Structure 1
Amino acid sequence: MTIDPTQKLNEDWPKLLALLPPGWEAKAKELGALKFGRRFSGPESLLRTLLMYMSADCSMVETVERARTGKLLELSDVGLLKRVNKSGAWLGWITEQLIQQSPVAAMQCPALLGRRILAADGSVVMEPGAVTSTWRLHYTMDISTLRCCEVQVTPSKTGESLTRFSVQQGDVFIADRGFANRRGVNHVLNAGGDILVRMNLSSLPLSDEQGSPFEQLARLRTLQPGQTGEWAAVMKGSKGDIAVRVCAYRKTDEQRSQSECKLKRVGQKKQKQLKPETMEAAGYVVLVTTLDCLDTQEVLALYRHRWQVELAFKRMKSLLGLSHLRKKNPEGAKAWLQGKLLVACLIERLIAAGEHFSPIEGDETEKGSAATPLSLA
């Protein structure tokens, strides 16, 4: 069931402020969000306005009008646009602090200590008023902090690829099957990174150590339900052969049945006849990685952690209407996405604490009027 943020954020602003990490106000100036903040009374009014914009999915003009009604700012919609673009780092810092304070256990992976572990993903989004998908949002996110590292916006027909992202030495990219292609993997490896991607039967051709084609299904069939396995394989790299590991998990009968039903629904929707091999492969989770510092169980656990991030992102889309993109330039899109992540974190913290709030009902309506509060969503 879809959660209505308006119902969850229906009391007062001070309860939200109590959730924010120490030092959040000072960070606004330090990270550039309030560099030209003369028209805001301070970090609180800026944050309140940004959250109103990020969560309500309204236009700049409407946000400015609402904020003026609440006496939060005296700023044009163009001025607010500049503040949004400059606030990404600040919103990201607040989100990261909230994640670190979360009671949910963080991912523990000592073997990868000091390395960025990035979930790469994409999401089809629309401009307000559009009836079909108009843009694709490509992004990488640090899975331990939910800090958005890189965002690109392209036409919706543009495919997913790891080549779209910058790579630093030691980065570990975790991605789903849409990113499992030789060109994207080589892009990461050539820059000194490692990959952990889910693969299907044909997107990433591999060979065994003798040079013969890697027969994936034949090996997978040796596993029992609930069992894991690993095999050495070789991938053609731009600079020669690359040793990789294929790690797999055979789903239980119940899990396999659920996956097959889902696959059939997708096939019916796309009016495609599914091959028997495709149906059989749905009974497994198959990963390929260049990491050599983790055992099979740790590789699968790391991918599962990425999957949890994906579920959180999908839940955030449901909560906040992420299907409608307001910003298409990279700087603005990154700030917009980071703001959405922050609001999602706050909502979940409030739900967990049994608290709710409304963003503009802060001054207990001095004149005693029954003004309608402006909700964050």
Structure 2
Amino acid sequence: MKIRPEILDHWPEVRERLPADFDLEATARLRGAFTRVREIKNAETLLRLALAYGGLGMSLRETCAWAEVGGIARLSDPSLLERLCKAAPWLGDIVAALIAEQAKAPAGRFAGYRLRVLDGTSICHPGADRTTWRLHVGYDLATAQVDQLELTDIHGGENLQRLTYAPGDIVLADRYYARPRDLRPVIDAGADFIVRTGWNSLRLLQTNGEPFDLFAALAAQQEQEGEVQVRVHEGMTGTPPPLVLRLIVRRKDPQQAQAEQERLLKDARKRGKKPDPRSLEAAKYILLLTSLPTATFAPADILTLYRFRWQIELAFKRFKSLAGLDSLPAKKPELARAWLYARLIVAIIAEQIAGQVPDSPPSGCGYPTG
């Protein structure tokens, strides 16, 4: 589904979708987005202009022309640019309020737990050959809704601390989130995690602190699925209690293993290098690190839960298509941030109106690649 221009022709309906307790005028003045009445008469008008520019992809000139024809406001391109740059933090507050409103929906539970997925997606400004912005998204699998969102620049790395956790949460994340100092805070918040890991993502020890030989453990595994207790070397000063977790191992089917090995070989050829033999061996397995208790969750349950992570990949595709985040036109950081937030506001509201949620995995979908 694409965002339609008509969404702004029905402003009262769009306005109703904003949280009832979010005071546009007061918050805009507090954030410095709206300080005095000149070309723009109130905060609501400022929001309509922002949504026309960012949400619908109009240029600054087109937005000014649209506003004048519609009797909404009369201002020049430079004036609109200045106002939008100042409005970026306020637009971010509106995004946060919309997300918070969605999060009020009763959370779905799996054996008393709430399943959430954390992932990030990259956004580039025009002409950029690498990431300029990064959108970090928390996704509730039961409600099929984004329940937390954060926009950062290129320096905002992916880590588990991008989410706020509550007791009973289970967060699912790919191998980019397997970082030693990010795991313990999740447990301290009363939550649990299932994080995919690679053979060299973490320094793993035996529970007694002795070195752990991962490849010996993989070779010794007789069944397709198994587990072993490991201790994570966190590199922390002081004497916190050892972080002992479960390493869940699943041997891939021969076809899956071969496909991953071929991908590694192809990538190595592009870089003019030879792949590490350990990477080729590890490609035969799925490795998951979890804090969930053995008594409640068998290895097969952990592997089943992790399969649900595909849903956020579909959500990203749908959300990025709906919001058109890949078409960022602005290079100026303040204007780019305003454009992105406006785009997200329209995408969230449009998705609420459409009521689109994924209800089944794509054909043949197994474990996510991340």
Which TM-score band applies after superposition, normalised by the shorter structure?
0.5 to 0.7
Is the aligned partner of 1:26 residue 2:30?
A: no
| Letter matched to residue 270 of structure 1 | R
**Cα distance, 1:77–1:279 mapped onto 2, change above 3 Å:** same
User: Residue in 2 aligned with 1:270?
Assistant: 271
Is the aligned partner of 1:234 residue 2:231?
A: yes
Contact kept, 8 Å, 2:245 with 2:291, in 1: the verdict is yes
Contact kept, 8 Å, 1:91 with 1:335, in 2: the verdict is no
Contact kept, 8 Å, 1:85 with 1:335, in 2: the verdict is no
Whose RCO is larger (CA < 8 A, sep 6+)?
A: 1
TM-superposed deviation, 1:33: 5.8
Contact kept, 8 Å, 1:153 with 1:333, in 2: the verdict is no
TM-superposed deviation, 1:52: 3.3
**Cα distance, 1:21–1:280 mapped onto 2, change above 3 Å:** farther
TM-superposed deviation, 1:200: 0.3
**Cα distance, 1:9–1:149 mapped onto 2, change above 3 Å:** closer
Q: Provide the C-alpha distance between the structure 1 equivalents of 2:329 and 2:41, rounded to a whole number of angstroms.
A: 25
Q: Give the SS at the match of 1:178.
A: helix
TM-superposed deviation, 1:196: 3.1
1:273-312 Cα shifts (integer Å, max 9, x gaps): 2233312322332111223364434433443334421342
Q: Provide the C-alpha distance between the structure 1 equivalents of 2:3 and 2:163, rounded to a whole number of angstroms.
A: 37
Listed as ranges, the matches of 1:131-142 within 5 Å are 131-133=128-130, 135-137=132-134, 139-142=136-139
Is the aligned partner of 1:305 residue 2:345?
A: no
| Letter matched to residue 296 of structure 1 | P
Contact kept, 8 Å, 1:208 with 1:233, in 2: the verdict is yes
User: Residue in 1 aligned with 2:181?
Assistant: 183
Is the aligned partner of 1:12 residue 2:6?
A: yes
**Cα distance, 1:310–1:172 mapped onto 2, change above 3 Å:** same
Listed as ranges, the matches of 1:180-259 within 5 Å are 180-186=178-184, 188=186, 194-221=192-219, 222=221, 227-237=224-234, 238=236, 239-259=240-260
1:40-74 Cα shifts (integer Å, max 9, x gaps): 6785x666544433345566565444444444444
Q: Provide the C-alpha distance between the structure 1 equivalents of 2:304 and 2:13, rounded to a whole number of angstroms.
A: 30
- Runs of at least 5 residues in structure 2 that lack an aligned partner in the other structure: 358-370
Listed as ranges, the matches of 1:58-73 within 5 Å are 63-73=63-73
- Runs of at least 5 residues in structure 1 that lack an aligned partner in the other structure: 354-377
TM (norm. structure 1) is 0.66
Q: Give the SS at the match of 1:248.
A: strand
Listed as ranges, the matches of 1:1-377 within 5 Å are 8-9=2-3, 12-13=6-7, 24=18, 26-29=20-23, 36=34, 39=40, 48-57=48-57, 63-74=63-74, 76-94=80-98, 108-113=109-114, 117=116, 119=118, 121-128=119-126, 130-133=127-130, 135-137=132-134, 139-144=136-141, 145-155=145-155, 160-162=158-160, 165=162, 170=167, 174-186=172-184, 188=186, 194-221=192-219, 222=221, 227-237=224-234, 238=236, 239-292=240-293, 294-317=297-320, 320-322=324-326, 324=328, 326=330, 328=333, 333=337, 336=340, 339-340=343-344, 342-343=346-347, 346=350, 350=354
Contact kept, 8 Å, 1:126 with 1:324, in 2: the verdict is yes
TM-superposed deviation, 1:20: 6.3
Q: Give the SS at the match of 2:233.
A: strand
The alignment of Structure 1 onto Structure 2 pairs a total of residues equal to: 333
TM (norm. structure 2) is 0.67
Q: Give the SS at the match of 2:181.
A: helix
**Cα distance, 1:18–1:99 mapped onto 2, change above 3 Å:** farther
TM-superposed deviation, 1:23: 5.4
Q: Give the SS at the match of 2:204.
A: coil
Q: Provide the C-alpha distance between the structure 1 equivalents of 2:60 and 2:132, rounded to a whole number of angstroms.
A: 20
How large is the Cα RMSD of the aligned pairs? 4.6
1:101-143 Cα shifts (integer Å, max 9, x gaps): 9xxx985335335xx9461x44443333x33225352635243
| Letter matched to residue 246 of structure 1 | L
TM-superposed deviation, 1:207: 1.7
| Letter matched to residue 273 of structure 2 | K
**Cα distance, 1:318–1:250 mapped onto 2, change above 3 Å:** farther
